[in-house]
Amino acid sequence: MTQALPEWTAGLWPAPMDTLPVPLEADARGIAFMPMTEADLDAVHAVEASAYAHPWTRRHFLDSLQAGYPAVLLVGEALPHETPRPTRPDGRWPMGYLVAMPGVDEVHLLNITVNPPHQRQGWARFMLDALALWSRGQGAHTLWLEVRQSNAPARRLYERHGFREVGVRRGYYPLSTLQREDAIVMQLGLDEPEPTP
């Protein structure tokens, strides 16, 4: 599963990348990180709406871009049996994306999403590895995030990645018109040794 990071990442993510565990399909798909721009927001929002019961609005993404937050798309080519949806002008399609907010010596992960047809293939783990590497390169010591209490797949992903639960924000997320849901606050120490997969 682990191999040297191929050339396709060069310059696409502003991190001193050396090696990362790369999903096996990466070369076949010509995977690349690209900065998310306003031109991507229709495609991004289509993925977002298909991945969440409570998706970010287009405005959330736009605000993050306008604030200058790091926002990257993971794009790839379709395999012969696939019909890319949503499409991009360059023929690649969004495999996933993340949006983060840098702080003084920490980075806050605001959104990480994998396009549903590509889930459970290691792409979220790959994006988290890349984000941790980039964050260390920025001098950050901690990566923070909030996750819905009911989001078992994401909580499992983060636990497997070495994040620890450090708090709860009561009623942080909307659940229905009358109900709210708690957020679990999780933290990854970037100065600690990486967990073994």
Ligand X SMILES: CC(C)(COP(=O)(O)OP(=O)(O)OC[C@H]1O[C@@H](n2cnc3c(N)ncnc32)[C@H](O)[C@@H]1OP(=O)(O)O)[C@@H](O)C(=O)NCCC(=O)NCCS
Chain residues that interact with ligand X, rule: CB under 6 A: 51-52, 112-114, 119-125, 147, 151, 153-154, 156-157, 160
Nearer to ligand X, 17 or 113 (CB): 113
Contact (CB, 8 A) for 5 and 21: no
Minimum distance of ligand X from residue 91's CB (angstroms):
22
Nearer to ligand X, 95 or 140 (CB): 95
Q: CA triplet 117, 118, 122: central angle to 5 degrees? A: 155
Minimum distance of ligand X from residue 65's CB (angstroms):
19
Q: Is 151 annotated as a binding residue?
A: yes
Number of H helices and E strands in the chain, helices first, is 5, 9
Catalytic residue list contains 77: no
Catalytic residue list contains 146: yes
The number of CA neighbours under 13 Å toward the Cβ of 48 is 20
In the set 146, 172, 173, 181, the catalytic residue is 146
Contact (CB, 8 A) for 142 and 189: yes
Known catalytic residues? 146, 158
Q: Binding-site residues for acetyl-CoA, please?
A: 151
